[in-house]
Amino acid sequence: MRQGKVLFLKVVIVILGLIVLGICIGLPFLAKETAELNPAYAYLKYPVLFGMYLTAIPFYFTLYQGSKLLRYISVNESFSEHSVAALRAIKYSCASISVIYLIGMIFLFTQDALHPGVALMGFAIIFVTTILSIFSAVLQELLYNVLKIKSENDLTI
């Protein structure tokens, strides 16, 4: 049953990666149409595209670390230093996405270009990635404590 759950999560990771890849491919076309509809903000097209593509890097790194973590679980190495390292990487990647979006929203706000819908989506992304970062930090600490107890028990036997 565990292998089915791990396989399901691997499929979810692939689907998320494909969705974001599709968004990244469609972004230049959407930016061009948006700039044509509202020429007053056309100068923001490239900074916004840069910010969106910049967040794709830690996103894909997070997906990669998540797939590594699932591989460790599937081969019964969930309680290992590798899992702790993967959770640490996920924590920092999610935090970096939050910071990039926060900087981007501050930039758009200073340019008087922060639309309420964009602000709502930005805050949602910041909220979700912050929660994922905190959750990864808690799991990392928990796993680290389990490994410490396990090594102490191995020494006593």
Taking only the tens place, the pLDDT of each residue in 99-124 is 999 999 999 999 988 889 989 999 99
What is the helix (H) or strand (E) element at residue 142, kind and residue range? Answer: helix 116-156
Taking only the tens place, the pLDDT of each residue in 48-84 is 899 999 999 999 999 999 999 999 999 988 888 999 9
φ, ψ of residue 112 in degrees (nearest 5): 55, 40
DSSP string, 96-137: HHHHHHHHHHHHHHHTT---HHHHHHHHHHHHHHHHHHHHHH
Taking only the tens place, the pLDDT of each residue in 90-104 is 999 999 999 999 999
Residue with tokens 């600490």: 141
Cβ(3)–Cβ(74) below 8 Å: yes
Name the pTM for this structure: 0.88
Q: Is 56 exposed, middle or buried (0-12, 13-18, 19+ CB in 10 A)?
A: middle
